[in-house]
Amino acid sequence: MRAMATEEKSRIGLCGLAVMGQVRFHADSRPSHPCVTPSILSSGDWRRFAFVATRLLRISSRFFSDASSDARGTRRTLDTQTPNLPPQYTPPLPTRHQQNLALNVAEKGFKISVYNRSGDKTDNAVARAEKEGLSANFAGYKDMGEFVQSLAKPRTVIILVKAGAPVDATIAGLSQHMEPGDIIIDGGNEWYENTERRQKEATAKGLLYLGMGVSGGEEGARNGPAMMPGGDRAAFDAVEEVVVKVCAQTDSGPCVTYVGPGGAGNFVKMIHNGIEYGDMQLISEAYDVLRTVGGLTNDELVAAFDEWNANELDSFLIEISALILAKQDDQKPDGGALVDKILDKTGMKGTGKWTVQQAAELSVAIPTIASSLDARFLSGLKDERVAAEKVYAGVGLAPADTKAPSLSPEEKQALVDDVRAALYASKICSYAQGMNLIRAKSVEQGWDLDLGEMARIWKGGCIIRARFLDRIKQAYDKDPNIPSLLVDGEFAKELVARNDGWRRVIVAGVNAGVATPSMSGSLNYFDSYRRGRLPANLVQAQRDFFGSHTYERIDMEGWHHTVWSDMNSADSITTSGYNN
Q: Does pLDDT of 186 surpass 60?
A: yes
Res 97: pLDDT: 76
526 compared with 66, residue with greater pLDDT: 526
Q: Which of 196, 276, 300, 494 is catalytic?
A: 276
Average pLDDT over residues 81-103: 50
Q: Is 364 exposed, middle or buried (0-12, 13-18, 19+ CB in 10 A)?
A: middle
Q: Does pLDDT of 349 surpass 90?
A: no
Average pLDDT over residues 118-147: 87
**β-strand pairing of 92-94 with 111-116:** unpaired
Listed range (39-53, 157-171, 301-315) with the worst mean pLDDT: 39-53
Domains of the chain: 41-55+98-262 (3.40.50.720), 270-529 (1.10.1040.10), 537-580 (1.20.5.320)
Q: Is 333 exposed, middle or buried (0-12, 13-18, 19+ CB in 10 A)?
A: exposed
Span 32-48, pLDDT tens digits: 333 333 344 444 433 43
Listed range (54-58, 359-363, 366-370) with the worst mean pLDDT: 54-58
Which of 513-517's residues contact partners 24+ apart within 8 Å by CB, and which partners? 513/399, 513/400, 514/288, 514/289, 514/292, 514/293, 514/400, 515/285, 515/288, 515/375, 516/285, 516/288, 516/289, 517/281, 517/285, 517/371, 517/372, 517/374, 517/375
Res 95: pLDDT: 53
Q: Does pLDDT of 202 surpass 50?
A: yes
- Residue from 206, 111, 101, 110 nearest 159 by CA: 101
Residue 459 is a catalytic residue: no
Dihedral, CA of residue 306, residue 308, residue 310 and residue 312, to nearest 10: -160
Ramachandran region, residue 89 (left: φ > 0; alpha: ψ -120 to 50; beta: rest): beta
Residue 324 to residue 99: CA distance in whole angstroms: 25
Give the containing element (helix H, strand E) for 128: helix 119-131
What sign does the CA torsion over 229, 518, 375, 31 have?
Answer: negative
23 compared with 360, residue with greater pLDDT: 360
Res 564: pLDDT: 93
Residue 408 to residue 405: CA distance in whole angstroms: 10
Residue 566's pLDDT band, with cuts at 50, 70 and 90, is: confident
The backbone torsions φ and ψ at residue 229, rounded to the nearest 5 degrees and listed phi first, read -85, 140
Listed range (68-77, 148-157, 408-417) with the worst mean pLDDT: 68-77
Res 40: pLDDT: 46
How does the average pLDDT of the chain come out, rounded? 83
Average pLDDT over residues 451-457: 97
Residues in the chain: 580
Listed range (326-335, 370-379, 383-392) with the worst mean pLDDT: 326-335
Average pLDDT over residues 52-60: 33
Residue 276 to residue 282: CA distance in whole angstroms: 10
Measured CA distances, 466 to 40, 129, 323, 326, 462 (Å): 32, 32, 17, 21, 9
* Cβ partners under 8 Å of residue 182, min gap 6: 153, 154, 155, 156, 157, 207, 208
- Residue from 219, 326, 284 nearest 514 by CA: 284
278 compared with 78, residue with greater pLDDT: 278
Residue 101 to residue 112: CA distance in whole angstroms: 11
Residue 146 is a catalytic residue: no
Span 402-419, pLDDT tens digits: 888 889 999 999 999 999
Residue 141's pLDDT band, with cuts at 50, 70 and 90, is: confident
Q: Does pLDDT of 469 surpass 50?
A: yes
Q: Which residues pair with 78 in a beta bridge?
A: 64
Q: Which residues pair with 231 in a beta bridge?
A: 210
Res 81: pLDDT: 36
Listed range (1-5, 360-364, 478-482, 533-537) with the worst mean pLDDT: 1-5
CA 77 from chain centre, in angstroms, equals 22
Q: In this prediction, what percent of the chain has a pLDDT beyond 70?
A: 81
Listed range (127-141, 313-327, 484-498) with the worst mean pLDDT: 127-141
Average pLDDT over residues 85-105: 56
Residue 119 to residue 141: CA distance in whole angstroms: 8
Residue 363 to residue 17: CA distance in whole angstroms: 40
Average pLDDT over residues 299-303: 98
Listed range (94-108, 432-446, 513-527) with the worst mean pLDDT: 94-108
- Residue from 102, 167, 157 nearest 135 by CA: 102
Q: Does pLDDT of 24 surpass 50?
A: no
The backbone torsions φ and ψ at residue 346, rounded to the nearest 5 degrees and listed phi first, read -105, 130
Res 23: pLDDT: 25
Q: What is the largest CA-CA distance in the chain?
A: 91
Dihedral, CA of residue 417, residue 419, residue 422 and residue 428, to nearest 10: -90
Q: In this prediction, what percent of the chain has a pLDDT beyond 90?
A: 65
Q: Which of 162, 269, 427, 441 is catalytic?
A: 269
